[in-house]
């Protein structure tokens, strides 16, 4: 189980990093669904990893981070085309 949690944590780190690099290089917009998916899912992976390690401040931050991403995605989904 410990190895699975570490793998999930690293996947989260890679997803958030891809999002950051993509916005920083202009490949994605900060308002794009792809950017928000990368951040929301990446933060979700961090939530599990930080909970496992007892890093509660980091876990709280990632709950908020993931919530922001999923809220943005929900608003995009509800917006008329």
Domain definitions of the chain by residue range: 2-78
Q: In this structure, what is the dihedral angle of CA atoms 20, 21, 23, 25, given to the nearest 10 degrees?
A: 160
CA distance 67 to 34: 15
Look up tokens 């928000």; give the residue: 36
Q: What is the pLDDT of residue 48?
A: 96
Q: What is the pLDDT of residue 80?
A: 77
pLDDT tens sequence for the chain (81 residues): 999 999 999 999 999 999 999 999 999 999 999 999 999 999 999 999 999 999 999 999 999 999 999 999 999 999 876
Helix extents (H) in the chain: 2-24, 33-53, 56-78
């Amino acid at each position: 189980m410990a190895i699975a949690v570490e793998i999930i944590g690293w996947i989260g780190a890679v997803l958030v990093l891809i999002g950051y690099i993509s916005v920083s290089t202009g490949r994605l917009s900060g308002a794009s669904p792809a950017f928000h998916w990368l951040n929301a899912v990446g933060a979700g992976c961090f939530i599990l990893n930080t909970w496992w390690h007892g890093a509660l401040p980091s876990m709280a931050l990632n709950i908020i981070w993931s919530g922001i991403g999923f809220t943005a995605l929900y608003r995009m989904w509800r917006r008329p085309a």
